[in-house]
Amino acid sequence: MALSQLTTRPPFRRRGAAGRPSHPDGDQRRSRGDRPLQTIDSQPSPARRRRPPVDPHVIDLILALGFTSAALVMFLTGETPGDLRPPDTLGIVLVLLVTLPLAGMHFHALGGYALMLAAQLTLAALGYETVPPVTAALLTGLFIIALTAPYWQAIVAGVSSGVLSLVAIFAFPTGALNIPRLILYWLAFSGVWLLGLIIKLYRESAARATRRAALFAQDRELRAIEAVAQERARLARELHDGVGHALNVVVLHAQGAQRIMDSKPDLAREALASIETAGRQALQDVERMLGVLRAEHDDVLAAQPGIGQLPALAERVAEAGLPVTVTTEGAATALPSSIDLTAYRIVQEALTNSLKHAGQARATVTVRYAGTGIELEVVDTGRGAAASAPTTEGGRGIPGMRERVAVFGGRLDVGPLPGGGFRVSAWLPTEAQTP
């Protein structure tokens, strides 16, 4: 390969009429199976493909083997003070029982740590020397259980470590009444335990934030799809009006041309020319607007949500950090599709506002079926500040809910509750039709 081929940039490609770089394949890039093109951002990075995350069980095994090797070497080769029991088979077994359970901490954290703690206390009670790798293994086990186990298990492990360290310091032969040593043990175990809990809280908070961001992104996407559908409907009306006008012109000129075809052929030819002009203009309008009306997301628009999807919506909102309870009162009846969709959107908007502004709260969604309509009530136990909060993107929020309800001649009541929280109540007549 020539050096110039390595150092010369590829030739600049001229942009097409639409402002996009031209491509030798043209539109064939899109026509191969009608699959959307994948951008660089949509593909996983090479680092992610080459380096999958390390299995935590492998890390546990490596730690267990490392601590075990170091502990055995120091336990067997170190100098034992005269007042301590020299190394023997029982001591080796106890050292192994402290270090090896690290390999299974992600399988049964509390059981593994209990075994490690019991073996450590037995070492101290029998008068063996506690080498640093044994203490380090115990600290690592406490960190893992605080990081990965349920909170109640982490609390049990932390309290047990604190209480039993007192027992080991004051009661067993290996520990004299040594206040600095006690403080050091407590600082080490408390610090490791708190560090694991803090990291766990941070991870859970980040996961909730990610789910909440995904929920908001889904909400924005649905709104964008709905806006596109409304725009297509508007264009369809314009197309209908334009083509209807052109057809009226064609019909009128055709009738006139038939009447004067024999008596006034020149005027008849002018009428035919007008028919041709009107037809061409209508054809151009159709060709121009069909590209806009050709939906790329027809499968998404066909499956519009409704009241039946409220439980799934409640689950998504709960995953984002706002627990939601959905209840139904009265005999459920089939709703017109427009009413069904509007009811779902009102509840979705109310829950989105609660999720943004209510803070640490809970929400209740009540659907009441009455004879002439359906009532929707969303109540949260938050700060009650959503009324003064800004509307969401695209001019939605509470004004958007009012617009939806007004289309069907319903009513909407919103506002903070006296004891705290916020309430959204909407009533929709089931016989309402969109204009």
Residue carrying the six token digits 């026509």: 31
Q: What six digits make up the tokens of 424?
A: 């959204």
Is 248 within the bounds of a domain? yes
Question: What local confidence, expressed as pLDDT, does residue 238 receive?
Answer: 59
> H helices within 78-178, ranges in order?
89-99, 109-125, 132-148, 151-171
CATH number at residue 287: 1.20.5
Q: Mean pLDDT for each consecutive 10-residue tract of the chain (435 residues)?
A: 38 41 42 38 45 72 82 77 76 85 79 83 78 84 85 84 71 56 78 88 88 85 79 64 63 80 82 77 64 52 74 83 89 84 88 80 91 90 57 57 84 89 91 46
- Are 293 and 322 contained in the same domain? no
**CB of 182 closer than 8 Å to CB of 169:** yes
CB atoms within 10 A of CB 101: 24
- Are 278 and 330 contained in the same domain? no
Where does a domain end: 298, 331, 363? 298
- Between the alpha carbon of residue 123 and those of residues 65, 156, 190, 215, 227, the distances in Å are 20, 22, 22, 53, 71
Residue carrying the six token digits 């609390």: 155
- Between the alpha carbon of residue 59 and those of residues 66, 99, 194, 257, 321, the distances in Å are 11, 14, 21, 90, 31
Which candidate, 200, 130, 198, 194, places its Cα nearest to that of 165? 130
- Are 83 and 166 contained in the same domain? yes
Burial-class residue 97 by CB neighbours within 10 Å (0-12, 13-18, 19+): middle
- Are 353 and 260 contained in the same domain? no
The strand pairing partners of 414, in sequence order, are: 424
Helices 397-407 and 337-357, packing angle to 10 deg: 160
Question: What local confidence, expressed as pLDDT, does residue 297 receive?
Answer: 47
Is 19 within the bounds of a domain? no
- Are 335 and 263 contained in the same domain? no
Euclidean distance between the first and the last CA atom of the chain, given in angstroms as a whole number: 70
Torsion-angle region of 26 (φ positive above 0: left; ψ -120 to 50: alpha; else: beta):
left
Is 8 within the bounds of a domain? no
* pTM higher than 0.75: no
- Between the alpha carbon of residue 8 and those of residues 14, 15, 228, the distances in Å are 18, 21, 45
**How big, in percent rounded to 5, are the helix, strand and coil portions of the chain?**
60, 10, 30
Is 316 within the bounds of a domain? yes
Q: Which domain holds residue 139?
A: 56-177
Where does a domain end: 116, 151, 177? 177
- Between the alpha carbon of residue 156 and those of residues 111, 149, 184, 202, the distances in Å are 11, 11, 21, 21
- Are 311 and 423 contained in the same domain? yes
Question: What local confidence, expressed as pLDDT, does residue 376 receive?
Answer: 94
Is 1 within the bounds of a domain? no
Local structure of 379: helix, strand or coil: strand
How are beta strands 422-429 and 373-380 bridged, if at all?
Answer: antiparallel
Is 193 within the bounds of a domain? no
Q: What six digits make up the tokens of 31?
A: 């026509």
* Distance from chain centroid for Cα 213: 6
Is 116 within the bounds of a domain? yes
- Are 369 and 274 contained in the same domain? no
- Are 150 and 232 contained in the same domain? no
CB atoms within 10 A of CB 76: 12
Where does a domain end: 246, 276, 298? 298
Is 206 within the bounds of a domain? no
Question: What local confidence, expressed as pLDDT, does residue 271 receive?
Answer: 79
Single-letter residue type at 266: D
Residues 6+ apart with CB under 8 A from 254: 271, 275
**CB of 335 closer than 8 Å to CB of 309:** no
- Are 257 and 325 contained in the same domain? no
Local structure of 252: helix, strand or coil: helix
- Are 327 and 229 contained in the same domain? no
- Are 80 and 170 contained in the same domain? yes
The C-alpha angle with vertex 31 and arms to 26 and 35, in degrees rounded to 5, equals 120
Which candidate, 358, 57, 215, places its Cα nearest to that of 207? 215
Looking at the structure of the chain, the number of domains it has is: 3
- Are 139 and 240 contained in the same domain? no
CATH number at residue 340: 3.30.565.10
Q: What six digits make up the tokens of 178?
A: 């040594």
